[in-house]
Chains A and B, each alone.
Chain A
Amino acid sequence: EAQVTQNPRYLITVTGKKLTVTCSQNMNHEYMSWYRQDPGLGLRQIYYSMNVEVTDKGDVPEGYKVSRKEKRNFPLILESPSPNQTSLYFCASSSSGDLNTDTQYFGPGTRLTVL
């Protein structure tokens, strides 16, 4: 089954404790991205990647890191989480990043709480 998976689905942590949220897709997609969703602010893109070893900042990259060492995986790293990073996080992928035709496929989400 074609899908985007994220782990963990729920995470409660404390300020400053490094964490990684994994994202994996099995559709051989080149384009992957991370979003956060907050009440009243909607979905905002954090980082995206056009291909292996190619990443770029989205609208809200501060406090986050990403890496793309393999095509299928795109982990989101919070080196020193803070309470304002409490949010619902989504990973997404699409086949080529073609701006005209690309359809994004989303993972189920990771709900992160930073105390």
Chain B
Amino acid sequence: KQEVTQIPAALSVPEGENLVLNCSFTDSAIYNLQWFRQDPGKGLTSLLLIQSSQREQTSGRLNASLDKSSGRSTLYIAASQPGDSATYLCAVRSGGSYIPTFGRGTSLIVHP
């Protein structure tokens, strides 16, 4: 059964830092990996989706990479801002299943 782990569970950084969030998965036979942002008490907003055949995706200050062989994905946030403060979740679809497996998230605080 697929397991998804996100490290660190929480992160606090000063504004302006570049930072990396990690997502690892146990079964490398994935269809895609999706990164989400969740603000407190709110729903999830999709940030980036990487298909299994892709190595990375970029959107603005965000860059997500995927290394299936090592079972890892990273979300890189450049020049972090206080507005980036949120919980970041990764979700993996694998094994022909329509049921994605979510990590428990990384709670990010960017302080001015």
Contacts and interface: CB of A to CB of B under 8 A. Distances in A.
A8 B32 CA distance: 32
A103 B46 contact: yes
A33 B104 CA distance: 19
A37 to B, nearest CB: 9
Interface string B73-91: 0000000000000000101
Contact of A43 (B32, B46, B89, B98): B89
B63 interface: no
B49 interface: yes
Given A100-B31, A103-B34, A103-B49, A48 B42 contact: no
Given A42-B103, A42-B104, A108 B42 contact: yes
Interface in A39-64: 40-45, 48, 50, 56, 58-59
Nearest to A90: B43
Contacts of B45: 106
A12 interface: no
Contact of A100 (B51, B89, B100): B51
A100 B32 CA distance: 6
Contacts of A101: 32, 49, 51
Contacts of A109: 41-43
Interface of A: 4, 31, 33, 40-45, 48, 50, 56, 58-59, 90, 92, 97, 99-109, 111
9 contacts: A48-B99, A50-B98, A100-B52, A100-B53, A101-B51, A102-B93, A104-B34, A106-B46, A109-B43
